Homo-oligomer: A and B are copies of this chain.
Amino acid sequence: MTEPLHPETEDMALAQVLAALGDETRLAIVGMLARGAGEPMTCSRFLHLGSKTGLSYHLAKLREAGLVRVRPEGTKRLISLRKADLDERFPGLLDSLMTADGSEQQA
């Protein structure tokens, strides 16, 4: 099992980030992480959103786009939102997304 690869902050591509977010499952994952006050979550926290295999796939998409960081910790993987990096690369984007996402939850 090889170390998970993450793009450098400056290598994040806008279209790739938006494509990664343009999926209900992945948007829900990011929403949970954003509401989680920066605390990393294990993959199993997202199991209600899909199958084990499906989540592995979606989390890889998010990681490759630069949205999340994955840190192996024993047999688990700790997933965290790359908030500081995203704010640096795309100022204001994450905040506006979370505001928008929050207003959708109500409806």
Give the B-binding residues of A (Cβ under 8 A). Answer: 13-24, 27, 89-93, 95-97, 99-101, 104
| Nearest-CB residue, chain B, relative to A65 | B22
* Number of identical protomers: 2
> Is A14 in contact with B104, judged by CB distance below 8 angstroms?
yes
Instruction: Decide if A92 touches B101 in the complex (CB within 8 Å).
Output: no
* CA A23 to CA B20, docked complex, whole Å: 11
Given A89-B100, A96-B91, A96-B93, A15–B19 Cβ distance below 8 Å? no
Given A20-B22, A22-B18, A27-B14: A96 and B90 interface contact (C-beta under 8 Å)? yes
Would you mind naming 26 contact pairs between A and B with Cβ atoms under 8 Å apart?
A: A13-B104, A14-B97, A14-B100, A14-B101, A14-B104, A15-B21, A15-B22, A15-B23, A15-B24, A15-B27, A16-B22, A17-B22, A18-B19, A18-B27, A20-B22, A21-B22, A22-B22, A89-B100, A90-B96, A90-B99, A91-B96, A92-B95, A92-B96, A92-B99, A93-B97, A93-B100
